[in-house]
Amino acid sequence: MNHDVEPAPDGIWRPVGFLLTMLGFGLRLDTPWQALGGLLIFGGAMAAGAGLWPLVRRRRVGAAFARSAGEE
């Protein structure tokens, strides 16, 4: 029996995306590393989007099957 707990992918990608984006913003501010900063911002946005997408899908699926208050 395998009881290894793996974190959800969205739980990993959101903080990684935030970290990359903040590093990118730090490099974009008047440094000669602006191109790398732009790439980090883009990569961070993609990673954060990949982490947020499963949350959006879960809420849409949950809303599609939710009953209204008067239904039984």
User: Averaged over 23-50, what is the pLDDT?
Assistant: 90
pLDDT for 45 equals: 94
DSSP three-state, residue 33:
coil
Q: Is the pLDDT of residue 29 over 70?
A: yes
* Domain of residue 27, residue span: 11-62
Q: Is residue 55 part of a domain?
A: yes
Q: Is the pLDDT of residue 20 over 90?
A: yes
Q: Is residue 47 part of a domain?
A: yes
- 22 or 12, which is more confident: 22
Using pLDDT thresholds of 50, 70 and 90, give the confidence band for residue 67.
low
Mean residue pLDDT across the chain: 79
- Burial of residue 2 (CB within 10 Å: 0-12, 13-18, 19+) is exposed
How many domains does the structure of the chain reveal?
1
Q: Is residue 57 part of a domain?
A: yes
Q: Is residue 24 part of a domain?
A: yes
Q: Is the pLDDT of residue 3 over 80?
A: no
